[in-house]
Structure 1
């Protein structure tokens, strides 16, 4: 009663089911409180099984809003197979508009494989990896830069040691028709949803669809198209559901992010002024920006330089920084 997650879902039932995953967590005002994570199942006979999730981080809105639209707009009669939708996976973080859960400080995308007897975030991660992900062929986890990052619109997969499964993951990533896609090397023990999907036997696809802690016309449109394109590519529906139209012709340029040296990090407290934009091509040794110390006005700003060639994938939006903050990332173009 005080551990794990409970639900009453029947994954083999045809039609549309709106329900909740319930995570018990005793709090001051309610000793038998349950965190209610909304979930929607749509099934129409046999076929591919797809899990769509957003709100892994609570301040990344494009996926949350698009999946809420999908819940309302998708008629299960149109579906061939099963679509499971988690619009707000980390509900406490979503409700607090924070990256991590205010209940336990948990970052869901660093919590896998989790613990069924742990904190709420850890219990949710464990349920996803050991129960929900294994029921699906494909897991699509939708992210954006959140309140602290501006991110190049990209699709994402983690490298899979199985060549055929890696090929399929890249194929589905390309099917989203994002302008860029990158392959992350996080290892077999990766604490992310994509690592969990791989360990669960599913093909994991993800992406960064915006940033700045807001939804824009452009980021909503590209997210909606990606969802529609994946649904169509998997044969689950026969046409767009969330967006006005699907996009089939845009080529995806592949990038790789696999080394710590591709990131630029603050080494002390200061204020960062960028010299390049997200999406710019840069070279090793090129000026990335300047680091100011506003508490020491007698000191000149420090010039910071890139360690690697590539394309600027993301930059920190908050100008004030502390030691350890990632200021920029540079992804390496991949020839295929």
Structure 2
């Protein structure tokens, strides 16, 4: 089957390799142009197979930087099995500091299962789901809040299609070394990378590791720890390679089960939050105030949480329009 991608990536060869996923895409200045997405491969015999990917959204940098650290630290003699690294999946979005691809405005994490004859984003999504993901047991797609959102560091899995896969995914989730983790319910048909991983027969792991289109020492250490812990838990490596050692943590499991756990703007306004990430809130608590800067003489609206929980994200930009998600509070679920 034509996948819409050209590559010489060899899944059976031992050793280290570096190549590209190439997407033919004719443009005005270059009729035989190809989108070049770097991909790195490490293999040392039979064993667990892990895909590490970042840059799905181009304004989320923790994963991009952390995968740079790990690909420089990995040596084939240090591993058992195989590790594939896709550090800038949506490379033109990364280089353009944009959530979506500037080539076609495609949001890769909403493009699965893709189309081998479609736009560059659709072709890439099709190749990932139908060719790359099936070659791996686990797919770790690293995210953060992007330009407009501040996000509590939370590892993430989707509800898996079988009890056996769910047990395995839950075990990996709770060994990533994060204070919070998240079980999403987007479903098997989800257009995200996690839905694609499930359809490809792989266990999908993800997470939100920061936000604001920047990084901090804390968000970087959390991301690097998650990568190291996943490699060790899968038995690919024996010890951390890029993170500081840390005593095991008790992970709090969270879930978003209703749209009532988020507050959305319904008109143009300016949002002033009064709570912080990680804060526990109750139904009826004030989340923030919504100002109208064109009518400053009018009282700002107090926005109330409709359900209690732990604040996991908030909009960073004060200026908001109808439809913008302003803040979310996730519910703690039994471990």
8 Å contact kept, 1:112–1:125: yes
8 Å contact kept, 2:262–2:327: yes
Query: 2: CA distance between counterparts of 1:105 and 1:31?
Result: 20
Per the alignment, residue 313 of structure 2 pairs with 314
Q: How does 1:191-202 map to 2 (within 5 A)?
A: 191-202=191-202
Q: SS of 2:326's equivalent? A: strand
Per the alignment, residue 220 of structure 1 pairs with 220
Q: How does 1:122-137 map to 2 (within 5 A)?
A: 122-137=122-137
Going from structure 1 to structure 2, the CA distance change for 1:108 and 1:252 (only over 3 Å counts) comes to same
8 Å contact kept, 1:113–1:191: yes
Per the alignment, residue 101 of structure 1 pairs with 101
Q: How does 1:93-172 map to 2 (within 5 A)?
A: 93-172=93-172
Q: SS of 2:142's equivalent? A: strand
Q: How does 1:1-336 map to 2 (within 5 A)?
A: 4-243=4-243, 245-336=244-335
Going from structure 1 to structure 2, the CA distance change for 1:127 and 1:246 (only over 3 Å counts) comes to farther
Q: SS of 1:143's equivalent? A: coil
Deviations 1:196-246 (A, max 9, x none): 101110000111111111111111111111100100111101111122x34
- Structure 1 residue runs without a partner (length 5+): none
Query: 2: CA distance between counterparts of 1:75 and 1:51?
Result: 16
Calculate the aligned-residue CA RMSD, in Å: 1.2
Query: 1: CA distance between counterparts of 2:280 and 2:164?
Result: 31
8 Å contact kept, 1:239–1:246: no
8 Å contact kept, 1:229–1:246: no
Report which stretch shifted further, 133-142 or 163-172.
163-172
Shift of 1:3: 7.4
Going from structure 1 to structure 2, the CA distance change for 1:332 and 1:59 (only over 3 Å counts) comes to same
Query: 2: CA distance between counterparts of 1:6 and 1:85?
Result: 17
Query: 2: CA distance between counterparts of 1:277 and 1:248?
Result: 26
8 Å contact kept, 1:175–1:248: no
Deviations 1:259-281 (A, max 9, x none): 21111100011100001111111
Shift of 1:284: 1.2
Shift of 1:25: 1.0
- Structure 2 residue runs without a partner (length 5+): none
Query: 2: CA distance between counterparts of 1:102 and 1:264?
Result: 29
Q: SS of 2:237's equivalent? A: coil
Query: 2: CA distance between counterparts of 1:257 and 1:75?
Result: 39
Shift of 1:299: 2.2
Query: 2: CA distance between counterparts of 1:286 and 1:26?
Result: 54
Query: 2: CA distance between counterparts of 1:49 and 1:80?
Result: 9
Shift of 1:296: 1.9
8 Å contact kept, 2:139–2:202: yes
